[in-house]
Amino acid sequence: MQTEKGQSIEDASMQMIEDEIGTHQYNEKQWPIVRRVIHSTADFDFAGKNKIIFHKDAIDSGMNALRNGCSIVVDVNGVIGGLNKQNPKDFGNNIVCNISNPEIMELAKKEGKTRSQVSMRAAISDIDGGVVAIGNAPTALMEVIQMVKEGIVKPALIIGIPVGFVCAAESKEELSKLEEAPFITNIGRKGGSSSASAIINAIFKLIRVESSS
């Protein structure tokens, strides 16, 4: 839980973002998510036109799944570090991160793949109907996209916002074309674990706001 002082600092930060951005293209559910990403990165580029892309069913599908206790599958522990731990505790969400599993490392060496790819394959049962959040590894995102296309998983939401140079922008472009599953992604090289966790935190906040109204 936030302390009163911590909440006042967050509220002031959010107001500064509102004041600096002014008008924007995002709707009433999209904007709190974009604003949370800006808050976590101090990067106002995310407010630009079409910088963050929402599948038409992304937010509602993600809210329904998280509200009902779906698994949250992440590519790296850094995403877990940025999550508000009270949310999965309250809603019963299992957080899955296989990247440091020794068996994953051995299998990745054997198959000539990245640990991120293999870790996603190992989480099939949690990905199907769950929320996937990828902030670091483009190969993890490409693997999830491939699994969706193969028809072996249908996530409730794919948050694909990996940061980097090799295949980061390309993986997100592939995700933006995906028709078989809802997604939230962005254009370009920017992103990261903090952005991925910020999106999850923002969706949980939307759930709580909706529940209290």
Report, as residue numbers or ranges, the catalytic residues.
39
CB 127 within 8 A of CB 73: yes
What are 186-189's contacts with CB under 8 Å, separation 24+? 186/46, 186/51, 186/52, 186/53, 186/161, 187/50, 187/51, 187/53, 188/51, 189/163, 189/164, 189/165
